[in-house]
Structures are given as structure tokens and as C-alpha cells.
Amino acid sequence: MSGKAHQTEVELDAVVGHAGSNGGVAHGALLVRFTEAVMGPDDAALDGARAAALQALGEAAFVDACATIGAFNVVDRIADATGIPLDDGLVVMSQQVRDELDLGRFASAANTPGAR
């Protein structure tokens, strides 16, 4: 949606395996690297990604990126752990994106019958 608002073409598949691609988002590859480092077990990778993100983004955008990663992580984990399904409207609105990214391959897709 932000791509449409900014009249920019984004490549959603950049977040599911196309390492190095910005995906049409400023600093996209760096943000993916940082997010993966935050979620991963490698402290050295996290230190490097954190320093690179802070330098490239500046303090305000870095804090925004950290908040976004943290908020998504907690909301996503709660939804998955409790089995919250997608709302009917979101199933319809997100179908193309879910198909494009093959999100049905993830275990949490089972929480929304018919959305695979």
C-alpha cells in the first residue's frame, strides 16, 4: 500500500529470498538484512546489521525500523500462537500477495481455512 501511495513499484518477493534486492524500497536490502539479523541467533551479524542500518538510515528512521520489527514480531507471534485466523475481508484483499509470496507454505496458514 505504501508503494501505491508513493506511486512506486515494489517487489514483495524481496522479503522472501531475493537477498540483495531493494525491492523498490529505499534501503530495502539493508532493512531485510537488519530484520533477519534481529530475528536470528548470530550476535555478530546483528551488530553489523545494526551499525549499517543506523549509519544508512539516521537515528529517527533507525528507531522507526526497530519499532516496526518489534511490533510486527510480537503481533505476528501472538496471532500464530493463539491461532487467530485472517478476517474474511483480509483473506480477499491479501489473496494476490499471499499467492505471489507462497505464504500458504508456512504453518500459520493453517489458522485460516480456505486461505491456503
Percent over 90 (pLDDT), the chain: 37
The predicted model scores a pTM of 0.75
How many Cα atoms within 13 Å fall on the side-chain side of residue 69?
A: 18
Residue 75 has pLDDT above 70, yes or no: yes
Residue 49 has pLDDT above 80, yes or no: yes
The answer for residues whose C-beta is within 8 angstroms of residue 76's C-beta and 6 or more apart is none
Residue 27 has pLDDT above 90, yes or no: yes
Residue 104 has pLDDT above 60, yes or no: yes
In the structure, what pLDDT confidence band is assigned to residue 18 with cuts at 50, 70 and 90?
Answer: low
